[in-house]
Structure 1
């Protein structure tokens, strides 16, 4: 079966309880759950959490919580891949026959079913290890500036600072939304998400918003409302 796994721990430093904080009328966690279920290629959505309130809300919106995440995998230092590997192992021990697994982040209200479905198709078409959502930097990173210790300015890349934007290679960043791979690939620690056999699913800027601060949160709400109006 194909599943989506959503890591959603209870602790959040910068925005308290952000995984279940109200976002445009629903808990934040509801959005990726609904998108995955609407994609048509995800059989089950599993939420990996250490928090019973999050677990209850996840179930209300159609996800399953077959196990509670251990505290040692819910601290500030555990990476996402370790959490996904733990979830896959737990589900396999429960007898789940897993083929492909998507990791969806909990704070992804702009993620939609089409993106999830397209990422899966791209994974199959390219026989890639991973396919993940990304976005292009709007400004050439080669022309970035650094502050010196004395408060002055120096170029990040002196060889590129004077070049035209069109002469510089485009650069991309992880959108922090969606990661597709087979269960076997997730469990193989020698295969990295950002590796040579991975592929990017490049999204337009209006579908990408990291949510780490309250300003990020408000910007995401504005984008979400505009997208809703566009599709009304």
Structure 2
């Protein structure tokens, strides 16, 4: 069995109510739910939340909310992994532990169903414990700059600042959309996501956008509109 777990707590300070806020005509939370259901490779979609309004919204779009997340896992300092483990422990206690679990973030309107299918296939055919979405840095991070306390500039890496881009190794970052893992690996804690226990599933730059600030939100809307060419927001184009 395969399960998607979407952490979606009620408290959000930088963008208040962002999980329920309208994004291009639909609530933000609806996008990962619909993508997971449209993928055909995920049998259950579970939303882990501490908020009754989010729970009602999740059920409206076809997800399950079989439990409410406890307060101790709903503050600003709780990481994602404890939330996923809590959900899996609940499923295990009810005799419903899946073989594969996908953590989906709630603010992923650019998520494509086919990426979920492809990345699960990679996990199943490998000895890795996790497969997660990633993207290439568009500029070599070794040539990053820092601002000094006096307002001047200093290289982040003085040994690399003068090198050509093509002479520097490619670097990647977590795209923040999905994290497939074997449920046993999520629960055991013996293997780490960002290690040799995992593989990256690379996404194109134009389908990756963190949404932490109002400016991020607006950029994500523009990317979504460009990708969908002003088509109806319920058409997820799973085979593009």
TM range (shorter): over 0.9
Distance 1:139 1:36 in 2: 32
Relative to the length of structure 1, the TM-score reads: 0.98
- Between 178-187 and 124-133, report the one with greater CA deviation: 124-133
* Aligned residue in 2 for 1:94: 94
Partner of 1:2: 2
Deviation of 1:97 (Å): 3.3
Structure 2 residue aligned with 1:42? 42
The DSSP-based 3-state class of the residue aligned with 1:126 is: coil
Shift of 1:160: 0.4
Q: Which runs of 5+ in 2 are unaligned?
A: 233-240
Distance 1:230 1:60, change over 3 A: closer
Q: Distance in 2 between matches of 1:116 and 1:99?
A: 15
RMSD between aligned residues? 1.1
Partner SS, residue 59 of structure 2: helix
User: CA-to-partner distance for each residue in 1:68-95, whole Å, 9 max, x for gaps?
Assistant: 0001100011110110000100111122
Counterpart for residue 138 of structure 2: 138
Partner of 1:128: 128
The residue number in structure 1 matching 2:177 is 177
The separation in 2 between residues aligned to 1:94 and 1:12, in whole angstroms, is: 31
How many angstroms does 1:231 deviate by?
A: 7.4
Q: Distance in 2 between matches of 1:100 and 1:140?
A: 34
Q: How far apart in 2 are the matches of 1:14 and 1:91?
A: 32
Moved over 2 A (4+): none
How many equivalent residue pairs? 232
After TM superposition, give the deviation of residue 98 of structure 1 in Å: 1.1
Q: Structure 1 stretches of 5 or more lacking a match? A: none
- The corresponding residue for 1:205 is 205
Q: Which residue of 1 aligns with 2:70?
A: 70
Give the TM-score taking structure 2 as reference length: 0.94
- Structure 2 distance, partners of 1:69, 1:197, is 28
